[in-house]
């Protein structure tokens, strides 16, 4: 490895000769050898590119940055957004809780890359664009990092999570319509209950996802508020007049998303309740997905010794030792994702609750957990739709067997012979291993014709088809 020497206010540091990052990035690389697989999410780096470009434009509009510097900064930001500098951001999330080192990583890369774009050799001479004085002008890590969190979170939720959940919701809605006349036994407390249709059962899943989507969308207003302009403690020291509003306008323009400046910069730096709030909705969706995927795998259990009321697609051999076995693998992936998101919610709650005075210093861990959850939910919903939900079919034989066997069809007799007589029929049938009809006739509580007339599963599903 060949090195060049970079400096910061603490002195000189050797950095890899071919890398654009500078002294502060290198110090972080050396000082935080913690969990090297947990890199700062690339979505956060991209969000920084949006906000650094917006800051440069706003600074030039305010007369405090030359147009030449603005254009150089903007050009490098565009390169970052195009993925051309992906190997220049080596830091991990386990660093300073303000994300200062990643902010400086971006500042250093932009300054050094600008130097090269001007025709200079990396590491030779002084850069025309200074990482702190120019790239970080009118900014602090304390307002840039939370701004990057909101940009990355909003983009991930709107581009990945919502479309994924909607796709699953739509696939399940098709099943609701297709299965609307398939009468099956219900189960409460995991025990036999009165019948319903498979369509009714699935409509509950659709409703869960619709409520989850609504909860998620309801949080987006708060997430659209940006901290930028608050600088060090929320007062906006070292920013020109009107900077916060203008910089948010530029970010909205560059991202195509409805970002605005935060109403209160003190909250925006010291608390990350917007992240907690939106992640709360992600957790709600994870809770729904856990229930939906569990129900579906139990309904599909078998093929000989389970509930076996639906078929799900056979996607892969399930077992390395048991020939012919096929498992509900998509459901297993979805339920693992749900477990991860619920765990992330605990991390985010602890991290979010620990702002001290003017700053919350759990920012990188909140960002990483949030982005993981939002990505996982979106991807898992797409995978589950394409590889499982779309292919669900009723197992009519299994449904019929359980329906005809069920003792709880006896509930239909309550209005005719009373709860206590109906219970006698159910208990006798169970004890003597008889059908409900046989038990009812033995007890002389009704006639064969009355049984046919009153015990009709298709009339027991209420008005809600």
Ligand X SMILES: O=C(O)C[C@H](O)C(=O)O
Quote the CA–CA distance of 84 and 88 in Å, as a whole number.
9
**CB 139, min distance to ligand X, A:** 7
Please tell me whether 320 is known to bind a ligand: yes
Q: What share of the chain is helix, strand, coil (3-state, %, to 5)?
A: 60, 10, 30
Please tell me whether 308 is known to bind a ligand: no
Could you give the 3-state DSSP secondary structure of residue 13? strand
**CB 103, min distance to ligand X, A:** 6
Please tell me whether 326 is known to bind a ligand: yes
Please tell me whether 325 is known to bind a ligand: yes
**CB 30, min distance to ligand X, A:** 19
- With contact defined as beta carbons under 8 Å apart, do 424 and 410 qualify? no
Catalytic residues: 189, 319
Nearer to ligand X, 105 or 278 (CB): 105
Please tell me whether 199 is known to bind a ligand: no
Nearer to ligand X, 232 or 326 (CB): 232
Please tell me whether 373 is known to bind a ligand: no
Nearer to ligand X, 361 or 445 (CB): 361
Nearer to ligand X, 81 or 232 (CB): 232
Residues in the chain: 465
**CB 98, min distance to ligand X, A:** 3
CA 376 to chain centre: 6
Buried b (16+ CB within 10 A) or exposed e, 143-152: bbbbbbbbbb
**CB 68, min distance to ligand X, A:** 25
**CB 100, min distance to ligand X, A:** 4
Nearer to ligand X, 60 or 98 (CB): 98
The pair of structure tokens assigned to 69 is: 């510097």
Could you give the 3-state DSSP secondary structure of residue 355? strand
Please tell me whether 39 is known to bind a ligand: no
Q: Where are the beta strands (DSSP E) in 130-266?
A: 183-188, 191-197, 225-226, 260-261
415: number of Cβ within 10 Å: 10
C-alpha torsion sign, points 10, 12, 16, 19: positive
The stretches of 261-406 forming alpha helices (DSSP H) are: 265-270, 273-299, 329-352, 363-387, 396-405
Question: 46 to each of 35, 67, 109, 421, how far by Cα in Å?
Answer: 22, 22, 13, 70
Residues engaged in binding ligand X (CB under 6 A): 98, 100, 140-142, 232, 359
Quote the CA–CA distance of 17 and 256 in Å, as a whole number.
37
- With contact defined as beta carbons under 8 Å apart, do 95 and 101 qualify? yes
Nearer to ligand X, 199 or 352 (CB): 352
Binding residues for substrate: 98-100, 130-133, 140-142, 188, 320, 325-327
Binding residues: 98-100, 130-133, 140-142, 188, 320, 325-327
């Amino acid at each position: 490895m060949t090195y060049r020497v970079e400096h910061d206010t603490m002195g000189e540091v050797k950095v890899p000769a071919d890398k654009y990052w500078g002294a502060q990035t290198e110090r972080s690389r050396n000082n935080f050898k913690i969990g090297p697989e947990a890199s700062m999410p690339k979505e956060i780096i991209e969000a920084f590119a949006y906000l650094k470009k917006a800051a440069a434009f706003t600074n030039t509009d305010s007369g405090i940055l030359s147009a030449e510097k603005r254009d150089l900064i903007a050009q490098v930001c565009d390169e970052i957004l195009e993925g051309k500098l992906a190997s220049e951001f080596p830091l991990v999330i386990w660093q300073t809780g303000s994300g200062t080192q990643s902010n400086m990583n971006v500042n250093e890369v932009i300054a050094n890359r600008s130097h090269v774009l001007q025709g200079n050799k990396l590491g030779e001479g002084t850069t025309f664009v200074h990482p702190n004085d120019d790239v970080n002008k009118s900014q602090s890590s304390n307002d840039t990092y939370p701004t990057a969190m909101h940009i990355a979170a909003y983009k991930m939720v709107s581009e990945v999570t919502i479309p994924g959940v909607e796709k699953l919701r739509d696939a399940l809605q098709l099943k609701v319509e297709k299965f609307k006349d398939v009468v099956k036994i219900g189960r409460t407390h995991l025990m036999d209950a009165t019948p319903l249709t498979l369509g009714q059962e699935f409509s509950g899943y659709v409703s869960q996802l619709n409520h989850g989507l609504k909860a998620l969308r309801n949080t987006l207003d708060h997430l659209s508020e940006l901290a930028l302009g608050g600088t060090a403690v929320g007062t906006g020291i070292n920013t020109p007049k009107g900077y916060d509003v203008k910089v948010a306008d530029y970010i909205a323009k560059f991202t195509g998303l409805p970002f605005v400046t935060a109403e209160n910069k003190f909250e925006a730096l010291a608390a990350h309740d917007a992240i907690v709030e939106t992640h709360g909705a992600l957790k709600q969706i994870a809770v729904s997905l856990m229930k939906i995927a569990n129900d579906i795998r139990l309904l599909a259990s078998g093929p000989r010794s389970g509930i076996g009321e639906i078929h799900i697609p056979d996607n892969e051999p399930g077992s390395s030792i048991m020939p012919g076995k096929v498992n509900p693998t998509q459901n297993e992936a979805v339920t693992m994702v749900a477990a991860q998101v619920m765990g992330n919610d605990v991390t985010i709650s602890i991290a979010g609750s620990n702002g001290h005075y003017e700053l919350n210093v759990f920012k990188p861990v909140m960002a990483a957990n949030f982005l993981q959850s939002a990505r996982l939910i979106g991807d898992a919903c797409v995978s589950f739709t394409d590889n499982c939900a779309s292919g669900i079919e009723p197992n009519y034989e299994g449904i019929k067997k359980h329906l005809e066997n069920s003792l709880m069809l006896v509930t239909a007799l309550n209005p005719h012979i009373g709860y206590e007589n109906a219970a006698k029929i159910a208990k006798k049938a169970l004890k003597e291993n008889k059908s409900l009809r046989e038990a009812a006739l033995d007890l002389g509580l009704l006639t064969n014709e009355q049984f046919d007339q009153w015990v009709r599963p298709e009339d027991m599903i209420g008005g809600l088809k």
